């Protein structure tokens, strides 16, 4: 898939689960649970022990049935290792042009983190396919996304932080092309307790919330 096709698929699904877990096994089980709930994307953060190996295992297990990404990627060397292990997209909490360049070298979409209008535009001009607005919930949530889309209608924004079942619709209505969802979906306590069936149900609930929001957006236009 081309970078544009990967981004389009992520936008179609709307939800990028941010997987943080205390062990490789827990991360694998969490992704399986989310996939069972119908979400076809997952971002494995580099804070997961053995994260690159986890990417390899997930790529082997799911193949093209899961859009696999690497998150909390802080440098180009890590980006390259993740891509070679099966990551189809790269996400960072911050802006580092060298990481963007590395993703481009392998024709993979990259979503660097930015917060202020200047950072958002700098990331876009540096080659970002979309910009991760982080931590979005701390600076106004959906209202902040709507404010950014005013001067930057051409920039795809993926807010992360503050996205939950109650707010996901507001983010999409505000103009977010997709959203990153962490603990509200991939709950560390549930993972630790082995309650993966609850993660599966939450995935279904988030997809239902997306469908509801999109129906409301369509009715409004």
Per-residue pLDDT of the chain (221 residues; tens, 9 = 90+): 899 999 999 999 999 999 999 999 999 999 999 999 999 999 999 999 999 999 999 999 999 999 999 999 999 999 999 999 999 999 999 999 999 999 999 999 999 999 999 999 999 999 999 999 999 999 999 999 999 999 999 999 999 999 999 999 999 999 999 999 999 999 999 999 999 999 999 999 999 999 999 999 999 98
pTM above 0.85, yes or no: yes
43, 57, 96, 108: which one is catalytic? 43
Annotated catalytic, 146?
A: no
Annotated catalytic, 132?
A: yes
Report the CATH number at residue 13.
3.20.20.70
57, 96, 108, 132: which one is catalytic? 132
The number of distinct structural domains making up the chain is: 1
Quick one: three-class SS letters along the chain?
Answer: CCHHHHHHHHHHHCEEEEECCCCHHHHHHHHHHHHHCCCCEEEEECCCCCHHHHHHHHHHHHHHHCEEEEECCCCHHHHHHHHHCCCCEEECCCCCHHHHHHHHHCCCCEECEECCHHHHHHHHHCCCCCEEECCHHHHCCHHHHHHHHCCCCCCCEEEECCCCCCCHHHHHHCCCCCEEECCCCCCHHHHHHCCHHHHHHHHHHHHHHHHHHHHHHHHHC
Owning domain of residue 12: 3-220
């Amino acid at each position: 898939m081309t970078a544009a096709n990967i981004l389009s698929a992520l936008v179609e699904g709307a939800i990028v689960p941010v997987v943080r877990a205390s062990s490789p096994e827990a991360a694998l089980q969490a992704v399986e649970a989310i996939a069972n709930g119908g979400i076809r994307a997952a971002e494995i953060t580099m804070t997961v022990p053995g994260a690159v190996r986890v990417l390899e295992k997930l790529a082997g297990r799911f193949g093209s049935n899961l859009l696999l990404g690497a998150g909390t990627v802080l440098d180009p060397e890590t980006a390259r290792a993740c891509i070679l292990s099966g990551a189809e997209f790269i996400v960072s909490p911050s802006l580092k042009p060298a990481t963007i360049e590395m993703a481009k070298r392998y024709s993979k979409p990259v979503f660097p983190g930015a917060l202020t209008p200047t950072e958002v535009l700098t990331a876009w001009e540096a080659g970002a396919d979309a910009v991760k607005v982080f931590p979005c919930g701390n600076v106004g949530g959906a209202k902040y996304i709507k404010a950014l889309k005013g001067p930057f209608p051409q920039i795809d924004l993926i807010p992360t932080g503050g996205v939950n079942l109650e707010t996901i619709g507001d983010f999409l209505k505000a103009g977010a092309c997709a959203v990153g969802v962490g603990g509200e979906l991939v709950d560390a306590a549930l993972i630790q307790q082995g309650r993966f069936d609850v993660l599966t149900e939450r995935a279904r609930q988030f997809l239902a919330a997306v469908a509801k929001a999109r129906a409301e957006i369509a009715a409004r236009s």
